[in-house]
Structure 1
Amino acid sequence: MKMKHLSPNRSFLIRSGVFVVLFSLLVSCHNDRNRPAKEGGEQENAAIAHQLTDFDEPNLRALAEKLRSASQQSIHIVQLGDSHTAADFFTGALRQQLQRRFGDGGPGFISPVAVPGQRYAEISFAADKRAWQLISSRKEKRTDFPLGGMMAQPAGEQASVILNSRRAGDSYLVQALYRSSGQSTLALQSAGQQRTLPLPATDGNWRFSSAAPAALPLNASVNQGASLQLGGWLIARDRPGVMLSALGINGATINMLDKWQDWPETLAQMKPDMVILSYGTNEAFNASLDAAQYRQNLESKIAALRRVAPQAVVLLLGPGDSIKRADAGSCQQMQPPLLNTVIQVQQAVARQQHTLFWNWRDYMGGECAIQRWASEGLARPDMVHLSQAGYEQSAQALYQQLMQILAL
């Protein structure tokens, strides 16, 4: 039998057709891998910028418009989280990027006095430690803490704290978050001027005082009368721009918020335009974590946010990569027992609740990538926390991806 040879033109057409089909299949597979899947395997259309995914967050367009008009209005971003937030390296770098482009709206919410193991990029404290009793929701089981989880009460007849800024002399609007059983006062002294703010009784709730103009450094004094307690300070610029508040506690999980009395209502008073939930590392190290219960807790927190701040964008910031047993034989054995589960739950909740989700671990390079980060000076030897440079690099990546999602 004679072999039939194709004409050169026909052979070229067939080869071209095969190439087109193969190329289409490859592109399709690549897109499927980068498109988040719905539960059950169904693919979903979601905007993705590298590791940042928009699962149809309803307030995203409004946030973009606010940022475009940042020269005429203030934008407040609030991040709640664990030790990755408490150091203010990540949030400090994110704050700096946003303020550099959209204007400096102030450092935001800070603790009432200095908290051991925590820092703020913009603000530092000076106070006699004996003058204050600091109580932390990290150590106490009580459930009457304010938003942020710290409260300070005078240890004597009178107590004062000095708030210092890296940019001394700049003017701000200062509010105190407080709780008082009766009428009290707050004395503010700065730049040679003194102002006294009335602090009415709060009926057992946490409230913000009226705003007072002040320059930093600021000396704030209170008396012990009326069982006064301070929960923090809200420090804003007297001009438009972005303000980013970092509320982090070392060792915290999402359940820490359950110790904060009426935290959604206090958050509503801060009028956030975006809320970032940055938990998951400590959950991942908990071998007895109930994944279903964890998901339910996360969903309830987002529901509370949507109720009191319906205008705010919600971003779930997944945990970065970490290692529990560096001496284990394989990467899988090195990992915290539930790190993969926590990330999967967060992504599923983000999809269901229509929030943003940033896969920090994926940005770092995936499983056991923190080893490389540590060798490059981007992570600390504990293989859990990053170095300042590592946090700053991560914040820069999130900022760039957020701008891409916002089309800014």
Structure 2
Amino acid sequence: MTLALTLALAVGLSLAPLPEAWRPIPSLAQGPVGPQLLALVTTSSHAAKRKAIGVEPDTGPAPEVPELPEEEAEETEVAEADTASDGGTVPAPAPVADSSDTLGLANLGPATLTKALRMEALREKMGSKHVDLDPGCRRMGASGCEEGGLEPFFKALRALRYGGRTLPVRVEHLGDSLIASDHINDVVRERLQERHGSAGKGFLYIDRPTRSGRGVRAGQASEGWEFIRIIDRSPPKDRLPFTGVAFTAGGPKGPQDVRFDIGDARTAEIFFLAQPNGGSVQVLADGKPLQRVQTRWTPAEVANARVKLPEGAKTLTLKTRGKVELHGVSLENGNPGVVYDTLGLPGAYAGVFLRTHRPYFRAQMRQRKPSLVVLMFGGNEAFRLSRDWTKPEEIKQEAEQLVKLVRESVPDAACLVWSPIDAAVRTMGGDLIPRRGSRMVADIFRDVAKEGGCAYWDALEAMGGEGSAIRWLSSGLLNEDLIHPRAKGSDLLGHLFDLAIQRAYAASSPPRIAAEPSGLQNTDKSLTATFRRLSKLEKGEDARLGILQMGASHTASHYFTDAMRNALAQRFGDAGRGFISAGKPSDRLKPAGVSRELTGEWTVEDALQATTPGQAWGLGGTRAVGAPGASLRIRFCEGCTAATTPPARLSLYWLDGPGSGRMEVKVDGSALPPEPAPPEPFTTPTVRIRSFPVSGPAHELEVLNQGGGALTVLGAALDLEQKGIAYDAVGLPGSTASTLASVDPQALSAQLSSRKPQLLVFWYGTNESGQKDLDAEKLRTEYGALISRLRKDAGGAECLVIGTTDRLQQGADGSWEEAPALARVVTALPEMARAQGCAYWSPRAAMGGDLSMLRWQRDGLGHADGIHLTPEGYEKLAGSFLSDLLAAYEVFKTQPPALAAEGG
């Protein structure tokens, strides 16, 4: 009867002499009467539904026929999803991605790639577009944006890719009915997990929040559960969690239960409200009790309980007793990978999620520890705007508040804001036109994202712009409500969003460092004299090769150089242990039979502590300063039995100058005559060297301060006067090439002249790679000048530069990434070595190149700090260096005798 009266009134008013705008049905020239009557009937039916669910009726002028709010459309969307058409038969291309991968199809398996290429064909057919993400900026600096809006998420993904992250990379996707049944997100989740690994299903509701639509993101719940939702007309302001839904049991319908398929999960995390008079939850796996969770607590607050699931379990069941409020369950497998949570509610908009209880929202969001939060709203804002139920200012204010809430809750997470998609309305004349307000809301959200430091994706433009909903409807990609995509349309949106993420991810990734050549480089002329001496030693001729390696902790640890010294001495002969810096006792010296002992009051200083440059230090950048009465001992070849006792020379290096103490020296317990005083007293600290003839490799040198001032010892050396290799290793942990350059040039020159090395090995760069503001050009210039000067001081020694090892640094989330200046160091050092006429060897290339430190860590060869190696790692690296050195030497031996003899 109501319909009949409505139709009669509409026809009567349309035929009456009224202004055209007032007529329910326009003139026949504007369209057939039949569809207009149907539209009017549909409008009346929809208005009745809105009244039943508490949606305010439209009170303003209505040139458009009101469409269903998104609350109502979910059932329609799901009911028609399985019969959705893709608008025609689209041939499936062969699963081959363009090698340039400008779309973002990399790292997809064959089956997924085939689907993606099918989506590409559909995209072209529909006129949809690849729209790039606006990355936004999380942190601005003096030079511009210092951190993009998605960097925390992309950084976490890179850590997964390179094996440096053990925690899941979680995404929290908050949205409306477009994702309530996990459409759109299912495509994105599948692809992210295929590319980066799956860490499990993630967060699941107890039941579907509307008890309609697909249940893939919810458990199989008993019928007696009650729920309170933020989309309800008057939700309690102090109750609702970050999910927007609270499921309660223990009321008139009694205890309830819910069952979840475990899949590959190994842990279940239950989210609930701990409250006064709270009941309990029995947790069962395959029907067998695991534990009981108590929910009684005062005052009320959100809580969570983590339950370990038995191996091989298939189902997880929760059974309530008493008053219980559950919010959901997260199922994860404990593997590194992606977890993609869908938190979608029909009818939701940004302002709706502000109805959650702020403390609960913050606490539960932080418990999830997301790397990315996606805010996908706008459709209901545009609908409300088109009905004049809201204003642009209100939409912006609500979106700003939600972004602010997210950023305050999880400040370390990235955030990304969607625009609304396109929608259409049917006019009284039966025509389809774009819904008013969608582009305005999209522009508002773009501004909110930019101001809030979030990334932004224009889904409306990706869909095809305003009017695209009409094309989608005609091709079967949109439901008849003109709002919600069907399953195939949702898949296309997920496809476009996923590829936008992948393109932004690829663009944000730091440029990969060019692979360094392996093996020893620049050896054609740089090591001629070195190889010539090796050749003489190998032939049994009388020769000596002195090698002096200077560097940082890789050198100071002695593991690398000990391995090199032992191998070279075994093949070419041993010319003595060489130089040992003065310092504290060290277990790292024991494998070589060397020990140090300090008695009395000593201070061990190093060049990194120097407040002013130009001070005198030992070759290793250290010095030991002893007060009167203090003594120092350095023992060589301690506990060893020498087969022969060739003539040897024991040398002491110290600083003499104003105020120096009186020194007594003992060799093997016997005091030596005092050192004659210099002709004129020193006015500045000056390096002095005293050598004592001895025999054999085993000796003890003792220095005593007999008073009169402090005594500064730099080190000692033992050289065997026989053919062979002498390999000095002087390193200072934490130092750089500039540290060495700051040492008093005369002090270095005096010690190098005494050591007389024929080959200088420089191993700096690892510490430089950790300097964010490293000036690569300055490094090349100053390091090169230092090498040139020290070669002259050493009497024209040849040079070999060792580059940096692979160096990583760990973020607060446990993920690993390359040191900030690693690329600059890797590029600068080979160029500098070539310019100085030095040979060059890359430890990083020998380790395996790009992010090889992660593999060395897994194999027990790399230290947990991402910088140093283990003793086994240093020995392995020394083996690679020795192999490359000897391989170059073997090539040298094949040269014509005249060329091999060049170099002096």
TM-score under structure 1 length normalisation: 0.79
The answer for the alignment partner of 1:289 in structure 2 is: 774
The answer for the alignment partner of 2:555 in structure 1 is: 85
Q: Cα 1:316–1:166, aligned 2, differ >3 Å: closer, same or farther?
A: same
Q: Cα 1:160–1:285, aligned 2, differ >3 Å: closer, same or farther?
A: closer
> SS at the partner of 2:686?
coil
The answer for the alignment partner of 1:278 in structure 2 is: 763
Matched, 1:221 2:703: yes
> SS at the partner of 2:533?
helix
Matched, 1:138 2:608: yes
- Cα distance in 1 for partners of 2:701, 2:717 equals 15
> SS at the partner of 2:521?
strand
Equivalent pair of 2:741/2:786 in contact (CA under 8 Å): no
**Aligned counterpart in structure 2 of residue 112 of structure 1, from 566, 582, 590:** 582
Equivalent pair of 1:49/1:405 in contact (CA under 8 Å): no
The answer for the alignment partner of 2:675 in structure 1 is: 198
Matched, 1:53 2:521: yes
Question: Cα offset for 1:309?
Answer: 2.9
Letter in 2 for 1:275: L
Q: Cα 1:225–1:242, aligned 2, differ >3 Å: closer, same or farther?
A: farther
The answer for the alignment partner of 2:329 in structure 1 is: none
- Cα distance in 2 for partners of 1:126, 1:92 equals 17
Equivalent pair of 1:141/1:259 in contact (CA under 8 Å): no
Q: Cα 1:314–1:107, aligned 2, differ >3 Å: closer, same or farther?
A: same
- Cα distance in 2 for partners of 1:385, 1:338 equals 17
Residues 21-74 of structure 1 deviation map (CA, whole Å, 9 limit, x = unaligned)? xxxxxxxxxxxxxxxxxxxxxxxxxxx99421016544x222112122235122
Question: Cα offset for 1:139?
Answer: 2.1
Query: Which segment is superposed worse, 276-285 or 296-305?
Result: 296-305
The answer for the alignment partner of 2:106 in structure 1 is: none
> SS at the partner of 2:845?
helix
Question: Cα offset for 1:125?
Answer: 2.9
The answer for the alignment partner of 1:189 in structure 2 is: 667
How many residues align structurally?
357
Matched, 1:148 2:620: yes
Equivalent pair of 2:577/2:718 in contact (CA under 8 Å): yes
> SS at the partner of 1:378?
coil
- Cα distance in 1 for partners of 2:885, 2:601 equals 43
Equivalent pair of 1:111/1:233 in contact (CA under 8 Å): yes
Matched, 1:307 2:792: yes
> SS at the partner of 2:756?
coil
Question: Cα offset for 1:81?
Answer: 0.5
Percent identity of paired positions between Structure 1 and Structure 2: 25
The answer for the alignment partner of 2:282 in structure 1 is: none
Q: Cα 1:124–1:138, aligned 2, differ >3 Å: closer, same or farther?
A: farther
The answer for the alignment partner of 1:4 in structure 2 is: none
Matched, 1:359 2:842: yes
The answer for the alignment partner of 1:7 in structure 2 is: none
- Cα distance in 1 for partners of 2:596, 2:524 equals 45
Radius of gyration: which is bigger?
Answer: 2
Q: Which has the higher contact order (CA 8 A, sep 6+)?
A: 1
Q: Cα 1:112–1:377, aligned 2, differ >3 Å: closer, same or farther?
A: same
Residues 101-153 of structure 1 deviation map (CA, whole Å, 9 limit, x = unaligned)? 01111111111232669646424334344342222223233422232211123
Matched, 1:403 2:886: yes
- Cα distance in 2 for partners of 1:265, 1:226 equals 24
- Cα distance in 2 for partners of 1:84, 1:199 equals 39
Residues 357-398 of structure 1 deviation map (CA, whole Å, 9 limit, x = unaligned)? 001101111111111111111111112111111111111111
Equivalent pair of 2:806/2:849 in contact (CA under 8 Å): yes
Q: In the TM superposition, what are the counterparts of 1:239-258 in structure 2 within 5 Å?
A: 239-258=722-741
Matched, 1:393 2:882: no
Q: Cα 1:95–1:365, aligned 2, differ >3 Å: closer, same or farther?
A: same
* RMSD of aligned residue pairs (Cα, Å): 2.8
- Cα distance in 1 for partners of 2:590, 2:803 equals 22
Equivalent pair of 2:596/2:632 in contact (CA under 8 Å): no
The answer for the alignment partner of 1:62 in structure 2 is: 529
Equivalent pair of 1:57/1:313 in contact (CA under 8 Å): no
Letter in 2 for 1:144: A
- Cα distance in 2 for partners of 1:194, 1:49 equals 54
Equivalent pair of 1:79/1:275 in contact (CA under 8 Å): yes
Residues 226-277 of structure 1 deviation map (CA, whole Å, 9 limit, x = unaligned)? 7542111111123221111111111010011133222134212210011111
Query: Which segment is superposed worse, 343-352 or 71-80?
Result: 71-80
TM-score under structure 2 length normalisation: 0.37
Question: Cα offset for 1:284?
Answer: 0.3
Unaligned runs of 5+ in 2: 1-515, 894-904
Query: Which segment is superposed worse, 380-389 or 199-208?
Result: 199-208
**Aligned counterpart in structure 2 of residue 178 of structure 1, from 654, 666, 676:** 654
The answer for the alignment partner of 1:233 in structure 2 is: 716
The answer for the alignment partner of 2:689 in structure 1 is: 208
Equivalent pair of 2:719/2:726 in contact (CA under 8 Å): yes
Q: Cα 1:115–1:275, aligned 2, differ >3 Å: closer, same or farther?
A: farther
**Aligned counterpart in structure 2 of residue 168 of structure 1, from 617, 633, 640:** 640
**Aligned counterpart in structure 1 of residue 631 of structure 2, from 159, 167, 179:** 159
> SS at the partner of 1:297?
helix
Question: Cα offset for 1:354?
Answer: 1.4
- Cα distance in 2 for partners of 1:126, 1:350 equals 35
The answer for the alignment partner of 1:73 in structure 2 is: 543
Letter in 2 for 1:64: F
> SS at the partner of 1:209?
strand
